[in-house]
Amino acid sequence: MNYQWYPGHMTKAKRMMQENIKLIDLVIELVDARIPLSSRNPDIDELGKNKARLILLNKSDLADASCNKAWMEYFKQKGFHVLEVNAKTGAGIKGVQGAVKEACKEKIERNKKRGILNRPVRAIVVGIPNVGKSTFINAIAGKACTKTGNKPGVTKGKQWIRLHKELELLDTPGILWPKFESQEVGRNLAFIGSMNDEILQMTELAIDLLAYLMVYYKEELTKRYQFVQEEWTPLETLAQICENRKCYKKGGEPDFEKGASLLLDDFRSGRIGRITLERPGQMTESNGNEVIGSDEKGIT
């Protein structure tokens, strides 16, 4: 299957970020904990260079807890500040202020030395569509936030949200579109539902997902759909899911399309369990470097 995105939107969003980046001290980048590399846009490193960086592994509630830990370690080793969060429930959000302070320590110190004491850290929240930027901004800002109005040099209409005297957020999330370095990245985005399902062949996608789940999450699959056998092919497993969920066509044969949608929906909403689709030990970065660290499950 060929995965497509909509590059038309990209230029405008990138321009917005380039215009504002000079006003920013810190880039808060949200990634999807289920696919921490595929849900990044490689341009962000260029855009955010010389800025403090904080990565939030969002939707951590849907991802494998041991993989979350491994990815946290991975990003730390790369020099990022990193936190595991669930923007939807607010879990982990309390830790963000401390992480921001830590990430901007040098800048705050420098300001102090120059006698600038009341200048808050200014941050922008970036990430690909649907990663949870708006949910995060709402979670961190809550109702107590005050909009501080336009500032000189900021594109007209841009608003800053003052969270407290030390941190302001640009309230427009920076939308970055994923860049497909490979078909694998496209497929991972399709798995989590970041692509229009109408343009995808759901049965093919479900079979690819099952091929992965049958290796790493067989127990979870068996628990949800019963009797998933080691020797089955992904198609046989899909047939089992159809049977388990009574997805039949008129003649009584399995309705694979329906079973596929059901499986993907179960996966995306966390009903199969907490699942991570990328493991540090098995990934190759966009620059071709292998992502180091693995055990038999592919994680450190």
**57 — phi, psi (to 5°)?**
-80, 90
- Least distance in angstroms from the C-beta of 110 to ligand G4P: 32
**Among residues 265, 269, 295, which one has the least CA distance to residue 280?**
295
* # chain residues binding ligand G4P, by CB under 6 A: 16
| Residues of this chain, 143-182, that bind ligand G4P according to CB under 6 A | 173
| Residue 36 touching ligand G4P (CB under 6 A) | no
For residue 227, what are the CA distances in angstroms to 90, 195, 271?
Answer: 37, 31, 17
Q: Could you say whether residue 268 binds ligand G4P (CB under 6 A)?
A: no
End-to-end CA distance of the chain: 31
The answer to the question of residue 40 lying near ligand G4P (CB under 6 A) is: no
Q: Which of 36, 120, 127, 259 binds ligand G4P (CB under 6 A)?
A: 127
To ligand G4P, the closest distance from the beta carbon of 133 in angstroms equals 3
Each residue 206-245 as x (binds ligand G4P by CB under 6 A) or -, in order, gives ----------------------------------------
User: What DSSP line would sit under 210-248, residue for residue?
Assistant: HHHHHHH-HHHHHHHHS---TT--HHHHHHHHHHHTT-B
Q: How far is the CB of 249 from ligand G4P (least distance, A)?
A: 30
Strand partners, 170: 160
Q: Provide the minimum distance between the beta carbon of 130 and ligand G4P in the complex, in angstroms, as a whole number.
A: 5
Q: Using CB under 6 A, which of 66, 97, 111, 135 touches ligand G4P?
A: 135
* Closest CB to ligand G4P among residues 53, 59: 59
Nearest distance, CB of residue 254 and ligand G4P, angstroms: 28
Q: What backbone phi and psi angles, to 5 degrees, belong to 264?
A: -65, -40
Interacting span for ligand G4P (CB under 6 A) from 36-44, 80-88, 220-228, 291-299: 80-88
> DSSP readout, 58-87?
ESGGGS-HHHHHHHHHHHHHTT-EEEE-BT
CA pair distance 249, 234, nearest whole angstrom:
20
Is 87 near ligand G4P (CB under 6 A)?
yes
Cβ atoms 259, 238 nearer than 8 A: yes
Positions that interact with ligand G4P (CB under 6 A)? 58-59, 61-62, 86-88, 127, 129-135, 173
